[in-house]
Structure 1
Amino acid sequence: MLVKACKPALESSYITKVIHDCKRDSEALYFQFGIKLNNVMDTQIAFSLIEEQEGRLRSPDDYISFVSLLADPRYCGISYLEKEEVRVLLRQDPKFWTYRPLSELMVRAAADDVRFLLYIYHKMTAKLNQRTLWYLEVRGALYCRCFCVNNNDYADWPSLPPVPDSLMMDGNAPEEEILSVLDVPPGKMGCVIGRRGATILSIKESCNAEILIGGSKGPPDKVFIIGPVRQVRKAEAMLRGRMLDIY
């Protein structure tokens, strides 16, 4: 009842939701409560954009964790040891968060998951320029959709943010960004990933796009690609090539 009561705010275009790596949160809200998470400022995306804006490169799978973000002195500079403790408990018992009443550790961990997000939000948005702010907005929207697979190509989801006129006028307008969901035939995911992940890493390094796999949490038979249209199409072609039966 409480989550459903929050649905108007979670789906609102006028209320900004600050989340670190919103993909799985959005998936849970969508499939458990029919909520289409909208207007998210994702601090994981923001961190990558700031690093890129300031000329620091990262490897394709180098996504900052929330614990590491909190520890970064540029944004918060605090340790969050209890998060690691909870992760261990969650791996041991996936139903950890379903138990009631909440233990003192659970209450502290839940509160600390959100306590510093607004502070980090203000620190990050002050660093972003107009171009990277647009990327933050559109990639946040694509992250929200990512694992929420449906049969209508997200037609009932809110529209993606358009490119601002001010960015169109400078002659260097950013390319449209999209999400592509690629179905992997049975038995072919190993061809996509390769030995010790070598194949998928090679494709990621060749394309300026994010390539995500559902893994053990699912969906297990799909690959999700987020990025500029041409880079997404390039990644699609390379992935389809790996799925071809070479025997």
Structure 2
Amino acid sequence: MASPPKTHIPLPPDPGDKSLNSETCGPSVPIHVVTHSTQLPEEFLHPSTEKQMVIGFDCEGADLCRQGTLCIMQLAFPNAIYLVDAIEGGEALVKACKPALESSYITKVIHDCKRDSEALYFQFGIKLHNVVDTQIAYSLIKEQEGQKKVPDDYISFVGLLADPQFGGISYDEKEEVRILLRQDPNFWTYRPLSELMVRAAADDVRFLLLIYHKMVERLNERSLWYLAVRGALYCRCFCINDNNFADWPALPPVPETLIADKQASEEEILSVLDVPPGKMGCIIGKRGANILEIKECCSAEIFFGGDKGPPDKAFIIGSVKQVKKAEAMLRGKMLHVYYH
């Protein structure tokens, strides 16, 4: 039996060591292609408070969303990478991962979890929980450093990895895969997995543990709470159901130390607004002008499903005050559309 391919996982340097800035740094670890749950670590399949862990996480698919096809789930541990093959392993394999993906004992580090969470929820009934979203963390670090929040300034994973503060690593191969995906959206459905597919899937998670440690050490208690609660809201964002997320895990409460602070953090919420059918373009405005104006005014996050859906919905995330203000402004835009 052939040995599994290997790659390097950069890990945080010991105190006094030079920062890792080369993808050859870190331990050489195997990349396992998983088609049956018995190939996964026992402590992952059966989460427990005694064996809490942090893993890198990502999903690949064909048109990844509620209606697309989830093809691979990537799991990066410090000593191995597991590519969970949802095509070969099927529903039984993905559902074997459900306890871990819903567990509060396993922290899943991911870059922009919204579509991954949507696919897992609607295709497999999995409620992704306890994520650290590096896109959110990056924004919080910039805010903490006093930089003005810019509407729609969401950093890509390639951009994050290139930032010398968090990796300083060039990820040119990502563009190669993007071109292949544009040419053939079914790229991730083909089997057997090619050498390029294995390498690209592993590359999407092997840097996440390093980035996680570099980010967490820079975030204060307030920002860490925002990171946890916004990550939970991002996971819910496109997973709208009829019970207002009553069956999802509770949102992380505001820490008592922050409540005692005179500048206590406000509760964060997710609001879903219906947009009149066929009027989304008018609401968003030319080149997103209307939404950018509302974001600038309210400092709330506003998302739309776009081509992948869900259609005719606006998703607003922020403090209660920010969300209510954004809702009022969006309803004002809707009234304008109705009467003009």
TM-score, scaled to structure 1 = 0.98
Greater alpha carbon shift after TM alignment, 80-89 vs 9-18:
80-89
Q: Aligned pairs, how many? A: 247
Distance 1:91 1:30 in 2: 25
Q: Please name the residue that 2:299 is paired with.
A: 208
Q: Secondary structure at the residue paired with 1:16?
A: strand
Q: Secondary structure at the residue paired with 1:115?
A: coil
| Amino acid across the alignment from 1:228 | S
| Amino acid across the alignment from 2:152 | D
Identity rate of aligned residues, in percent?
A: 79
Residue 65 of structure 1 and its aligned partner are, at CA, apart by: 0.4
Q: Please name the residue that 2:339 is paired with.
A: 246
Which entry has the higher C-alpha Rg, 1 or 2?
2
Residue 2 of structure 1 and its aligned partner are, at CA, apart by: 2.1
Deviations 1:213-238 (A, max 9, x none): 11111112101000000110111111
Indicate yes or no: 2:271 matched with 1:184. Answer: no
Deviations 1:151-187 (A, max 9, x none): 1100000000000000011121111100001111112
Out of 156, 162, 171, the residue aligned to residue 71 of structure 1 is 162
Residue 77 of structure 1 and its aligned partner are, at CA, apart by: 0.7
Indicate yes or no: 2:96 matched with 1:5. Answer: yes
Indicate yes or no: 2:174 matched with 1:83. Answer: yes
Q: Please name the residue that 1:154 is paired with.
A: 245
Distance 1:176 1:237 in 2: 19
- Unpaired runs of 5+ residues, structure 2, are 1-91
Residue 20 of structure 1 and its aligned partner are, at CA, apart by: 0.5
TM-score, scaled to structure 2 = 0.71
Indicate yes or no: 2:105 matched with 1:14. Answer: yes
Q: Kindly report which structure 2 residues correspond to 1:1-247, keeping only aligned pairs within 5 A, or say none.
A: 1-244=92-335, 245-247=338-340
Distance 1:145 1:88 in 2: 30
Distance 1:246 1:95 in 2: 43
Distance 1:96 1:220 in 2: 26
Q: Secondary structure at the residue paired with 2:248?
A: coil
More strand by share: 2
Higher relative contact order (CA 8 A, sep 6+): 1
Q: Which runs of 4+ in 1 moved over 6 A?
A: none
Deviations 1:94-143 (A, max 9, x none): 21111111111111110000001011100000000000000000000000
Distance 2:325 2:219 in 1: 28
More helix by share: 1
In angstroms, what is the RMSD of aligned CA positions? Answer: 0.9
| Amino acid across the alignment from 1:156 | D
- Unpaired runs of 5+ residues, structure 1, are none
Distance 2:283 2:339 in 1: 13
Q: Secondary structure at the residue paired with 2:271?
A: strand
